[in-house]
Amino acid sequence: MERLKHDLVIVGSGIAGLRAAIEASRLSPGLSVAIVTKTQAMRSHSVCAEGGTAAVLYPELGDSVESHVFDTVKGSDYLADQDAVEKFANMVPSEIYQLEHWGMPWSRREDGRIAQRDFGGYSYPRATFAEDKVGFYEMQTLYDTCTKFPNIIFYQEWFATSILAEQGEFRGITAIEMKSGEFATIAAKAGIIASGGAGRLFSFATYGHSSTPDGMSMALRAGIALKDMEFFQFHPSGLIPSGILITEGARAEGGILLNKDGERFMKRYAPGKLELASRDVVSRAIITEIEEGRGFRDGDGLEYVNLDLTQIGAQRIKERLNGIREIAMKFNNTDPVEKPLPVRPVCHYTMGGIDVDIDGATRIKGLWAAGEAACVSINGANRLGANSTAECLVWGRITGGAAAEYAVKRSDSPPSDGQALKEEKRIFDEIFHGKGGTNPYAVRDELQRAMDKGAYVFRTGEGLAEAVKVVRRLKAEDYLHCDDSSRRYNTNLTNVLEVESLLLAAEAFLAGAVARTESRGAHARRDYPKRDDVNWLKHTLAYHTPEGVRLDYSPVKITRFQPAERHY
């Protein structure tokens, strides 16, 4: 077992992780900061973000922070913590300018100022963008900036496996160096989990295949709850058949949704905002159209509706939506300049995550979580598009600053070996050298199918119970073994660990979803179609215990906006 040591260790090199590393280094240049990432840093899912980052930039033209707060709270179906949303909306604008100063090539208006486009659920066009590749440019800008700090050390293609904590205090993490297959402890005074979302719980997903809930499962196993995991976002426009995202920016630029009768059906569901109602509303409308026989069906039986961008015009599509044009041509053989695109709702975002407070702190002293892995919560039951990259920037900054301040004041207290040796034994003796008859990839596929079927846009108690049964059965199977016996780059081993994480997170998700007998935001129960504020205006907390999931609840912080019925 190799023993490494830093002051701060960050798991994840997406927007949240990189922003945290920069903030910690800016405040305390003497601090040794490690970024551990299972992919190459620039292959984190953040590079896929397409449409924009929400911020109030032009109050003089009619936008306001209060309006950003209200739109976000309304979008969340009133489950967001309003104090956190206020902090968020106040802090994002300076992040946009900060990125600009670090070199971010924001798209521009005619007058040279930063351009913004409309996005779902907003009452002002406040999505700041860079063509339709906002995540790629943000990641490039942050990565470039990280390289200016010699104290930031990247551990690329290192797979983190567990959190080391003693007497409720963070001590470090364990990880596998994938290149050599060596197991290591990375001792640190402070830690930040920024390991992204859990999107690969579903097979039809916009996420990269690396988006598995490893960090969430590390937190669960360390005794931290996952909050509001039953709230998963289904984005209205996943391209058939792969599920690759067609950004909401396409609808913001003038794209419309049509059913097989050529009807612009959103007029019936959201007469005010039409295609730019919040994502939960648009996704439910599409599924309803399909279920009522007004969808299309392709040769493989896949059902969809049309997203028509032809009226936007070739020039604007090439200028502002070139990325999705290329995707549509490569993956569906369709040029959106000429023909509508076939789309249906696709798993896109994890509203829930590691339970943290408004400053991103977990219940383990010295450990924070940020970005999509965390649940602060500003997104509640439904996130508005363009708020996630913004959240990653804001809580990357907050947690990076807090962790640095904490680490500077602490003296070294490295972890004792006991917990790490146990983890090494679990991974190498039990899994790497383990034997078993069940193919872990078949387990992953079956889990995804069960989630696609039981926990998609509309849910029922019966469907969820069926998914629970599948997860329980799969957990009991002997899939925790590795057929590839080589140590170097053993992705078979890390894939098995990912399947284990998926099953743990699925259990937490389903327990919360079965219990929540109401419909709120993205959690739409056919058997309980109404929102129930009397009983369910509260956050779900799911803990991992040897007997299974233990549920608890915590109150929602309401400051200015009393829950009201949502209309778009």
Mark residues 195-224: x for contact with ligand FAD by CB under 6 A, - for none.
xxx--------xx--xx--xx---------
Among 7, 22, 23, 37, binds ligand FAD (CB under 6 A): 37
Q: H-helix or E-strand containing 459?
A: strand 458-459
CB of 536 to ligand FAD, least distance (A): 25
Residue type at 402 in one-letter notation: A
Contact of 266 with 275, CB cutoff 8 Å? yes
Asked if 245 is part of the footprint of ligand FAD (rule: CB under 6 A), the reply reads yes
By DSSP bridging, strand 548-555 and strand 367-369 are: unpaired
Distance CA 192, CA 24 (A): 11
Active-site residue identified among 19, 68, 117, 251? 251
Asked if 74 is part of the footprint of ligand FAD (rule: CB under 6 A), the reply reads no
Mark residues 356-395: x for contact with ligand FAD by CB under 6 A, - for none.
---------------xxx-----------xxxxxx-x---
Among 24, 49, 56, 431, binds ligand FAD (CB under 6 A): 49
Distance CA 440, CA 492 (A): 9
CB of 187 to ligand FAD, least distance (A): 17
Contact of 390 with 122, CB cutoff 8 Å? no
Q: Is 348 a catalytic residue?
A: no
Of residues 77 through 136, those in contact with ligand FAD by CB under 6 A are 134-135
Report the residue closest to ligand FAD, judged by CB: 14
Asked if 399 is part of the footprint of ligand FAD (rule: CB under 6 A), the reply reads no
Q: Is 251 a catalytic residue?
A: yes
Of residues 151 through 170, those in contact with ligand FAD by CB under 6 A are 159-160
Among 4, 17, 277, 381, binds ligand FAD (CB under 6 A): 17
The residue with tokens 């899994």 is 431
Nearer to ligand FAD, 211 or 332 (CB): 211
Contact of 70 with 559, CB cutoff 8 Å? no
CB of 564 to ligand FAD, least distance (A): 25
Kindly state the tokens that stand for 111: 């007058």
- 42-64 b/e with 16+ CB inside 10 Å = b? bbbbbbbbbbbbbbbbbeeeebe
Nearer to ligand FAD, 163 or 464 (CB): 163
Nearer to ligand FAD, 360 or 454 (CB): 360
Distance CA 388, CA 369 (A): 14
Among 8, 9, 10, 11, binds ligand FAD (CB under 6 A): 11
Of residues 300 through 339, those in contact with ligand FAD by CB under 6 A are none
| Phi, psi for 239 (deg, rounded to 5) | -70, 135
Nearer to ligand FAD, 4 or 537 (CB): 4
Active-site residue identified among 171, 235, 284, 544? 235
Asked if 38 is part of the footprint of ligand FAD (rule: CB under 6 A), the reply reads yes
> In sequence order, what DSSP letters do the residues of 386-431 get, joined into one string?
THHHHHHHHHHHHHHHHHHHHHHHPPP-PPPHHHHHHHHIIIIIII
Query: 348 has which bridge partners?
Result: none
Contact of 383 with 349, CB cutoff 8 Å? yes
Contact of 256 with 263, CB cutoff 8 Å? no
Distance CA 391, CA 378 (A): 8
Asked if 237 is part of the footprint of ligand FAD (rule: CB under 6 A), the reply reads no
CB of 11 to ligand FAD, least distance (A): 5
Nearer to ligand FAD, 207 or 304 (CB): 207
Contact of 36 with 9, CB cutoff 8 Å? yes
Distance CA 128, CA 6 (A): 36
Asked if 174 is part of the footprint of ligand FAD (rule: CB under 6 A), the reply reads no
Kindly state the tokens that stand for 211: 């988006």
Asked if 12 is part of the footprint of ligand FAD (rule: CB under 6 A), the reply reads yes
Kindly state the tokens that stand for 119: 């996005």
Q: H-helix or E-strand containing 355?
A: strand 353-355
Among 4, 8, 10, 15, binds ligand FAD (CB under 6 A): 15
CB of 287 to ligand FAD, least distance (A): 20
Instruction: Please name the residues in contact with 453: beta carbons below 8 A apart, sequence gap of 6 or more.
Output: 463, 466, 467
CB of 20 to ligand FAD, least distance (A): 9
Nearer to ligand FAD, 44 or 519 (CB): 44
CB of 143 to ligand FAD, least distance (A): 11
CB of 385 to ligand FAD, least distance (A): 6
Q: With contacts defined by CB under 6 A, how many residues of the chain interact with ligand FAD?
A: 46
CB of 123 to ligand FAD, least distance (A): 18
Longest CA–CA span in the chain (Å) reads 69
Kindly state the tokens that stand for 156: 């690329």
Known catalytic residues are 235, 251
Give the footprint of ligand FAD on this chain (CB under 6 A): 11-17, 36-39, 44-46, 48-53, 134-135, 159-160, 194-197, 206-207, 210-211, 214-215, 245, 349, 371-373, 385-390, 392
